[in-house]
Structure 1
Amino acid sequence: MIHYFVNPYLNVFKFKGRASEKEFWYFYFMNFTIALILMFTKQFHGIEDVKDYYRIFYFIPLVSLGFRRIQDTGYCGFLFFIPLVNIFLAALPGDPKPNKYGMPRTL
């Protein structure tokens, strides 16, 4: 499960290719959980804006992974920038066959 968290950081500038549903949603919810924990514990660690720094840290890997996730469904990765459309397309199952963005991704 940790590879779902680490792989997007290793492939941070890889916007071509495909990403599985599992990879996208694990990364998204793990980072969401970490941001919530940082937000609720800011009184203990003393850094007021630590959750904002963390959001900056995971924004580019999330966009890169989002591009690859949308491409896995067979659509253009730029649709990731459209609110609500990106969530809908990210929730669609990936194309089980090779598409114009590459072979299906399995971890």
Structure 2
Amino acid sequence: MYGEGGRPERVVSSTKVKPLTWVHLAAVHDRGAGSAGEIRMYVDGRLEGVKLLKEPIRPSSGPFYVGRSTFGEPVDFWPGAITNVALWDRALSGAEARSVAARI
């Protein structure tokens, strides 16, 4: 995600993923937190990272990709499998993120 000034915004988990082990990841962009919002990352339903934003995330003008980035050309391909992708039109609470992870 990029802020309106073009600066990339990232949240990094403190959990090291074990090879050949499924992990449930959830990223939440909450526009209502703080002055510009925040990004929260959940790993298997546990809150692993929070990034308070200094500027709002700019709206996307292109397609939504899972498992890669695009900077003119596709880059940074995810080297594993991805399944059960879901998107919501609102920020999930911590309890909702835990509930979704428990169903997988």
TM-score (ref. length: structure 1): 0.28
Which protein has the bigger strand share? Answer: 2
TM-score (ref. length: structure 2): 0.28
